[in-house]
Chains A and B, each alone.
Chain A
Amino acid sequence: MIKVPTVAELTAEGKIPEILFWVGCAGSFDERAKKITKAFVKILHNAGVSYGVLGAEESCTGDPAKRSGNEFLFQMQAIANIEVLNGYGVKKIVTACPHCFNTLKNEYPELGGSYEVIHHTQLLKDLLDQGKLTIEKGSYKGKKITFHDPCYLGRANNVYEAPRDLIKKLDAELVEMKNCKAKGLCCGAGGAQMFKEPENGSKDINIERTEQALETKPDIIAAGCPFCNTMLTDGVKNKEKEGEIPVLDVAELIATAKDL
């Protein structure tokens, strides 16, 4: 049984966590994404990271509102969140959601919220480099893993290598899709598309992307975003490959390798 500390509890005990884990709405509520959250927290505990979560004090960053065009709602969310974050004196934030990552990192500073914001794959990479996290080699040996670049991690913030380095550390064979890194194809969920039906077209974007992933004949499709995960999982189901090719977050890959 792992006890996840909230920043409120820690503050009451006079402790200041080194890093805030921003769980995000998907990580908090979505059944699939909750598994990613748990896998990540298990690694944090295993590596002895001093962290806390906001719990009920966390609220949507406002990303889907802003991308929908509702600047007012976005800024209401942002200012309220910044008051909470600044109230606790938060300096560093890690999140497993590239949308939260991007918004906190790039759009909050101008509104009074300046923090060091990193994606969870970057933290995991740091922990590995510092020797705080070790990966027993072998469990993915000979497995082909393809990584889908989340737009808000890759193109939006130029983070391409951290998740790839982790996959390589797992001893797995990293295979690239025909569109990868700066040319990565969107999963179809960004810009608030996650919350609406797609416009009329010849195909759904997640199907197109899943086809690109399947072309690499992977054993596992790796993702670094809860929304991409949902879209690709749906895509794999549509291709009747569920059970055959899992869609897993990089944190889940590591947690499984460590048998956490």
Chain B
Amino acid sequence: MFQYEKILQYPVNIKKCNPTYAKIIISQYGGPDGELGASLRYLSQRFSMPDPKLQGLLTDIGTEELGHLEMIGTLVYQLTKNLSCEEIKKCGFDAYFVDHTTGVYPSSAAGVPFTAAYLQSKGDIITDLHEDMAAEQKARTTYDNILRLIDDPDVCDVIKFLREREIVHYQRFGEGLRLATDKLNEKNFYAFNPSFDKGCMK
């Protein structure tokens, strides 16, 4: 089971409200390469992973992504606290506000609601680990783009931390892929699925 810990992974204390930034950052909450998709992807894929090391890795990274989801939610919450109607209109936050007020809702920056179509759980060790490595890079690029659009040092500090985590996760998944291929019959890496076809592990 999961148990909540009442602490963020990294501190978030935003001093200046900015709904424009909130509108951009919400994409990492419920957008195509966001933290919700990441956690669901890894926590779903782990069931069919044939190796306990990889089951552990997906459980751990999937859990950390839930922590990142909470950090992004915190950023959006703090960036939209105590807004006036004038600020909402001036910053273009009105389209979000009319549907969600200042509630944190999983959607992309363009307002598209979260969908499980953003992720895959293919039930194949090689396929899933490649998807995971790609997902980490896509999230890293999104954080790079966010850093290009914002200049509040308090926000940037948190985004930089999250960006670095994508790189570490990419590295760990790469090692996971190596562990997986080391265990497969090297004459036949891609011709079978070790979760499904028996007798293909070394």
A binds B: no
